[in-house]
């Protein structure tokens, strides 16, 4: 575990003990986003996802989103102080992209788990019931989810989402780092950017989409489902 | 109404010829797997489109547009990309292989260095997968400019002539550069074929895409 404790602070260690309630708060300390620690080692998701991928993905890619988000936020704050509306608007794509990257990856790490922490164990309770009713079972959901992942044209994510209006669940894809906000609530996300699998799977992305279910943390998904 | 069959074009150099800027492993996967997949899926989409056209089935024709754009764009972009790269030892990669274009670059951007800085910044600013292109705009008196496109959107607008492009999908550099895409962007200049760029700059839009027709 020590390998993953890159930037442990008392604040984050304390927040880690109540991860469910703390998603928003845990990653924004005094207005600044910080890289969250993983709850498992980089190598813990092997063979589905290699340790090398996890290390780069968390310590480099996610870190870059955090850093760039903080930079963009600083510029927004400066523009706000000057009541410079044009600059505030021009910064919106950066907030969406880097803030989205931070949110998406934070949720992603949480909805993955090694086998010995419940990774791959099928969902239970209300979410399981909703999956059965709306998809005809978990296998059918996985099939449709994988088809959605494979159909992404470029970089992006596929999410199991809950419609906050109807309560129904569904599969949606999002381009680049567009986050799941607004009408839909994120339940389970899979990163379909090439950096998420390329070192291990190269162009064989269907193999990654097949294997990732072995490390999906359905308990985390259940806790997001309302 | 049989659909045309597109084929993967041969590279004008060996897979390892662009080293050290781009590794042989990347080139082989990129050409033989990624580009091939675009060609295969383009042919599938073209076939479905031909059937829908034969049946006067307009909804299906419209529904096929995104696949045609994505896979057709992937085929066009990669075909142009391979041609606008050359081994670093080749004289084609020196900017004096593009006398007219380099004049236009200096007139537009001030200097070769200023142009490269702006092009690099554009490449690094792409949010997600996409491409950066130097383009000639015939509708604007033949001016040149830097354009970025998302995913596999091709530069095929009326009066737009792509002079050279750089693939900013992660598959284009990840095995060698990992998250260090700034180094990829820096090194790509050692393998840009200024000779190809000059030919495209002096030619017509149709000339640029002519080689694509030849590979049908
Ligand atoms: Fe990612
Ligand atoms: Fe590519």
Å from CA of A80 to ligand 2 middle:
40
Q: Which residue of B has its CA nearest to A63?
A: B179
Secondary-structure class of domain A116-224 per CATH: alpha beta
Q: Is B171 annotated as a binding residue?
A: yes
Q: Which residue in A153, A176, A199 is closest to B70 by CB distance? A: A153
| CA–centroid distance, residue B133 to ligand 1 (Å) | 25
Looking at residues A168-181, what average pLDDT do you find?
98
Residue of A154, A195, A198 lying closest to B150 (CB–CB):
A154
The CA-based dihedral angle spanning residues B179, A195, B22, B7, taken in that order and rounded to the nearest 10 degrees = -160
Interface test with A, best of B174, B176, B181, B182 (most A CBs within 10 A): B174
pLDDT band at A185 (very low <50, low <70, confident <90, very high): very high
Per-residue pLDDT at B121 exceeds 80: yes
Statement: residue B80 has pLDDT above 50? yes
The answer to whether residues A112 and A42 touch, using CB atoms and an 8 Å cutoff, is no
For the segment A106-135, the average pLDDT, to the nearest whole number, is: 98
At residue A28, the pLDDT reads 44
pLDDT confidence of B3, banded at 50, 70, 90?
low
Regarding predicted confidence, which is higher, B158 or B35? B35
Flag whether pLDDT at B210 surpasses 90: no
Nearest ligand (C-alpha, residue B129):
2
The environment of the single-atom ion ligand 1, i.e. residues with CB closer than 5 A, is: A 191, 193, 196
- Domain positions in chain A are 3-114, 116-224
The pLDDT-based confidence of B215 (bands split at 50, 70, 90) is low
pLDDT of residue A27: 45
Q: Tell me the per-residue pLDDT of B160-180, one tens digit each, with 9 for 90 and over.
A: 999 999 999 999 999 999 999
Q: Which residue has the higher pLDDT, B142 or A119?
A: A119
Select the residue from A90, A192, A194, A196 to test the B interface by mutation, using most B Cβ atoms within 10 A. A194
pLDDT at site A19: 38
CA–CA separation, B207 and B88 (whole Å)? 25
Give the integer Cα–Cα distance in Å for B141 and B155.
Answer: 18
Mean pLDDT in residue range A14-37 = 56
Q: Which residues of A touch B29 (CB under 8 A)?
A: 202-203
Cβ-nearest to A97 among B127, B150, B178? B127
pLDDT digits (tens, 9 = 90+) for B45-66: 999 999 999 999 999 999 999 9
Distance A226 CA to ligand 2 centre (A): 41
Question: In B, which residues are within 8 Å of A154 by CB distance?
Answer: 128-130, 150-152, 169
What percentage of chain A has pLDDT greater than the value 70? 87
What average pLDDT does the segment B21-41 reach?
98
**How far apart are the CA of A26 and the nearest CA of chain B, in angstroms?**
26
| Optimal mutation site among B179, B180, B181, B184, interface A, most CBs of chain A within 10 A | B179
Chain A: residue nearest B35 by CA?
A: A203
Segment B76-87 mean pLDDT: 98
- pLDDT for the residue A93: 97
Domains and CATH numbers, chain B: 24-83 (1.10.287.990), 91-215 (3.55.40.20)
Q: How far is the CA of B14 from the centre of ligand 1 (A)?
A: 32
Segment B74-84 mean pLDDT: 98
- Residues sharing a CB contact under 8 Å with residue B180, sequence separation 6 or more, in sequence order: none
Q: Residue B149, SS3?
A: strand
Contacts across the A-B interface (CB distance below 8 Å): 56
- State mean pLDDT over B72-99: 98
Tell if the pTM clears 0.80, that is, is over it: yes
CA distances from A98 to A63, A87, B203 (A): 10, 17, 40
Query: ipTM of this model?
Result: 0.93
Query: Using CA atoms in the order B103, B109, B110, B114, what is the torsion angle rounded to 10 degrees?
Result: -110
Query: Under an 8 A CB cutoff, do B152 and A154 touch?
Result: yes
Mean pLDDT for chain A overall: 90
Question: How far does B186 lie from chain A, in Å, by closest CA?
Answer: 19
The more confident residue out of A131 and A18 is: A131
Residue B141: what pLDDT? Answer: 86
Residue A4 has pLDDT above 50, yes or no: no
Among the bound ligands, name the one nearest to the CA of residue B36: 2
Local confidence band at A12 (pLDDT 50, 70, 90 cut-offs): very low
The beta-carbon neighbor of A153 closest among B151, B171, B175 is B151
With a cut of 60, say whether residue A7 has pLDDT above it: no
A203 contacts B151? CB cut-off 8 A: no
Ligand 2 centroid to residue B197 C-alpha, Å: 19
Whether residue A9 is predicted with pLDDT greater than 50 in this model: the reply is no
* Minimal CA separation from B89 to chain A, in Å: 29
CB–CB of A155 and B128 under 8 A? yes
Feature table: binding site of A for Mn(2+): 57, 105, 191, 195
B77 membership: H or E segment, kind and range: helix B65-83
Partner-chain contact A60 B175, CB within 8 Å: no
| B130: pLDDT strictly greater than 90 | yes
| Lowest mean pLDDT across A6-15, B16-25, B144-153 | A6-15
Locus of tokens 């009541």:
A83
The pLDDT tens digits of the residues spanning A138-160 come to 999 999 999 999 999 999 999 99
Q: If you average pLDDT over residues A98-102, what whole number do you get?
A: 98
Strands B160-167 and B130-137: what pairing?
antiparallel
Average pLDDT, chain B: 95
Q: Does domain A3-114 have CATH number 3.40.710.10?
A: no
């Amino acid at each position: 575990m020590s390998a993953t404790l890159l930037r442990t602070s008392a604040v984050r260690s304390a927040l880690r003990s109540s991860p469910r309630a703390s998603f928003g708060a845990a990653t924004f300390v005094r207005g600044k986003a910080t890289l969250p620690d993983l709850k498992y080692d980089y190598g813990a998701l092997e063979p589905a996802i290699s340790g090398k991928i996890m290390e780069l993905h968390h310590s480099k890619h996610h870190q870059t989103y955090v850093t760039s988000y903080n930079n963009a936020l600083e510029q927004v704050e400066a523009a706000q102080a000057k009541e410079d509306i044009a600059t505030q608007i021009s910064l919106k794509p950066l907030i969406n992209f880097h803030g989205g990257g931070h949110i998406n990856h934070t949720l992603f790490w949480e909805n993955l788990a090694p086998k010995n922490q419940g990774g791959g164990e099928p969902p239970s309770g209300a979410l399981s019931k909703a999956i059965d009713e709306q998809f005809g079972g978990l296998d059918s959901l996985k099939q449709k989810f994988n088809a959605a992942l494979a159909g992404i044209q470029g970089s992006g994510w596929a999410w199991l989402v809950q419609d906050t209006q109807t309560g129904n669940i569904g599969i949606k894809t999002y381009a680049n780092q567009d986050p799941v906000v607004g009408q839909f609530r994120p339940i389970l996300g899979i990163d379909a950017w090439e950096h998420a699998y390329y070192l291990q799977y190269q162009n064989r992305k269907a193999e990654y989409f097949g294997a990732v279910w072995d490390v999906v943390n359905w308990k985390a998904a259940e806790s997001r489902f309302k | 109404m049989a659909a045309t069959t597109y084929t993967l074009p041969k590279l004008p150099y060996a897979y390892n010829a662009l080293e050290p800027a781009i590794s042989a492993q990347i080139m082989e996967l990129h050409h033989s797997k990624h580009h091939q997949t675009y060609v295969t899926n383009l042919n599938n989409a073209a076939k479905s489109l031909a059937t829908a056209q034969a049946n006067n089935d307009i909804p299906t024709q419209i529904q096929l547009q995104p696949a045609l754009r994505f896979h057709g764009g992937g085929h066009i972009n990669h075909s142009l990309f391979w041609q606008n790269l050359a081994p670093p030892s080749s004289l084609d990669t020196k900017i004096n292989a593009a006398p007219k274009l380099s004049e236009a670059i200096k007139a537009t951007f001030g200097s070769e260095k200023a142009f490269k800085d702006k092009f690099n910044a554009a490449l690094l600013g792409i949010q997600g997968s996409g491409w950066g292109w130097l383009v000639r705009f015939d509708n604007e008196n033949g001016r040149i400019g830097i354009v970025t496109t998302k995913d596999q959107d091709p530069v095929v607008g009326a009066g737009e002539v792509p002079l050279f492009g750089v693939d900013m999908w992660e598959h284009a550099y990840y095995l060698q550069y990992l998250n260090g895409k700034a180094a990829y962007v820096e090194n790509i200049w050692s393998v840009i074929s200024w000779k190809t760029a000059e030919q495209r700059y002096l030619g017509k839009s149709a000339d640029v895409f002519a080689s694509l027709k030849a590979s049908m």
